[in-house]
Structure 1
Amino acid sequence: MLLAIDAGNTNIVFALMEGEAIHARWRIATDPRRTADEYAVWLSQLLALEGHQRSDVDGVMIGTVVPRALHNLQVLARKYFGTEPVIAGSAAAPWGFPLDVDEPQNLGADRALNVIAAHAEHPGDLIVIDFGTATTFDVVDFRGAYKGGIIAPGINLSLDALVTAAAKLPRIAIEAPADSTVIGRNTVSQMHIGIYWGYVAMIEGLVARLKQEIGRPVKVIATGGLAILFEQRTAVFDVVEADLTLRGLAMLWARTHIAAEA
């Protein structure tokens, strides 16, 4: 089985996969100081709880946007799983699609993996929205070429900035308001409205502008942990796929192995 590792700015997700099927997944806060030994103790216990062991893993695929975390993840694969990890986007596992942008080398691994999975599963032009530390909008044309996109502050970053800068505002949970009113009657309700409905308005407004610029029918795919929160109150998403990045890792792994065996 494949151990797919998606290392983001906030969390690292480990998934035990067979093909594109996910047998188990675990999430841990991203900390570049965390050692391979610490990962191994944590993972070994979780594997055992799911009825697996380290010997079940015969490959490790890493996608990361945190370069400082990469070394210890590589050591984890070599020392505790006895395999050389494949790094998504490296010479051993190139993206395999055209990057029609000014700085192709700066495309984040998570966004590239989303492009791979989204294009493989959905024909035509696409907008992929990933709700992570940042909220990213990626445009993929019908040929699978990456055309560019948008980077916006994630909703948690927006809330953190608001609470940090305004001394009298309380910290609130990120959740959908109880109703659709946008006239708040107290400080907390006003904050919920501003953060939640303000974010929905941003999503809908940017998607509308992207669709107008693309000029062809477009399918909108949402992924990331908070996508389901917004799905409840907007019709802008055509599909919500929580595991898009992990499936991209699995697809890139399969493609890499087919090429290596050819």
Structure 2
Amino acid sequence: MLLTVDIGNTQTTLGLFDEAGSCRRQWRMASDKTDTADELHERLFGYFLMLGLRLGDVTHVALASVVPILTREWQYMLGHILKQEDVLVVDATRDCGIAIDMPDRRQVGADRIANAVAARDSYGAPVIVVDFGTATNIDVVDRKGAFRGGAIMPGLLLSASALFSQAARLSSVNMVAPAHALGDSTETAVQSGLVIGAAAQAEGLVRRIIDELRAEDSQLGKVTVVGTGGLAHEISGVTDMFDAIDCDLTVRGIYRIWAHRNQKRRASQRDR
């Protein structure tokens, strides 16, 4: 089995894929920047034990990370403790199976490349991904199937944390969508501003991006919009911009990048 590891600033998402490329298990754990390799090993062992699996069942590992300190600890744990000798670390400067039409590919986060690959392969091109995580990322694949970039803004929980810590008379509320945008209490007003506001912000950026794509490409056609991330389902209830909600998108993209590189490696070995 292939273990995929998507290390985000708030959560780490793990997926187990079989030889056919189906995601058999997926789970989330907190991204704790103080975790050591030994602690990560203990937590991973616990998850596998809970699922009735053995760490020895893992034959390959691929990870994407936006947290360098955790990348190092995961790599050490996987290499020195689990003896996984060939861990793929997704990196936009390497071949990920998608063209990157940006001036400096080194600035592209691994999670965004994974989203773009999975969205293109699953939904075709052009496609836009809105990923609701610690940051809300908008990732764009044009009609030719190339990753073009997008937008990055503070995520819903990050915005809420900033609001509650800086506004003395506002207290934390449940992060759910109110029935109406017009709040009739402080609680529903805050919920409207945060949840419906996050949807409106994403809608506006997506609409502007599509307009810009259409201005440069008269044959653009329909642009599929996909939502992903931990809060995608909550946001999707207050907007009609999404054609699909796909919460497996990032781990599936990591798998597809691994499969692409593995296929190229096998082809190279056959040609020798």
TM-score when normalising by structure 1: 0.94
Which blocks of at least 5 consecutive residues in structure 2 are unaligned? Answer: 215-219, 268-272
Over 3 Å counting, the alpha-carbon distance change for 1:130 and 1:62 in structure 2 is: same
Q: After TM superposition, list the pairs within 5 Å mapping 1:64-75 onto structure 2.
A: 64-75=65-76
Report the more deviating stretch, 102-111 or 206-215. 206-215
Query: Matched residues in 1 for 2:15 and 2:139: separation?
Result: 24
Q: After TM superposition, list the pairs within 5 Å mapping 1:111-126 onto structure 2.
A: 111-126=112-127
Cα distance, 1:142 vs structure 2: 2.1
Letter in 2 for 1:163: F
Query: Matched residues in 2 for 1:28 and 1:40: separation?
Result: 13
CA contact (8 A) 2:15 2:23 kept: yes
Structure 1 runs of 4+ with >4 Å offset: none
CA contact (8 A) 2:3 2:60 kept: yes
Cα distance, 1:136 vs structure 2: 0.9
Question: How many pairs does the alignment contain?
Answer: 259
CA contact (8 A) 2:5 2:64 kept: yes
Matched with 1:229 is: 234
Cα distance, 1:137 vs structure 2: 0.9
Query: Matched residues in 2 for 1:54 and 1:16: separation?
Result: 11
Query: Matched residues in 2 for 1:103 and 1:146: separation?
Result: 12
Query: Matched residues in 1 for 2:128 and 2:28: separation?
Result: 26
Q: After TM superposition, list the pairs within 5 Å mapping 1:1-262 onto structure 2.
A: 1-18=1-18, 19-84=20-85, 85-89=87-91, 94-177=95-178, 179-180=179-180, 182-215=181-214, 216=220, 217-262=222-267
Query: Matched residues in 1 for 2:235 and 2:72: separation?
Result: 35
Query: Matched residues in 2 for 1:127 and 1:214: separation?
Result: 11
Query: Matched residues in 2 for 1:13 and 1:29: separation?
Result: 9
SS of match in other structure, 2:6? strand
Letter in 1 for 2:3: L
Which blocks of at least 5 consecutive residues in structure 1 are unaligned? Answer: none
SS of match in other structure, 2:176? coil
Letter in 2 for 1:120: D
Cα distance, 1:26 vs structure 2: 2.6
CA contact (8 A) 1:54 1:80 kept: no
Query: Matched residues in 1 for 2:52 and 2:189: separation?
Result: 47
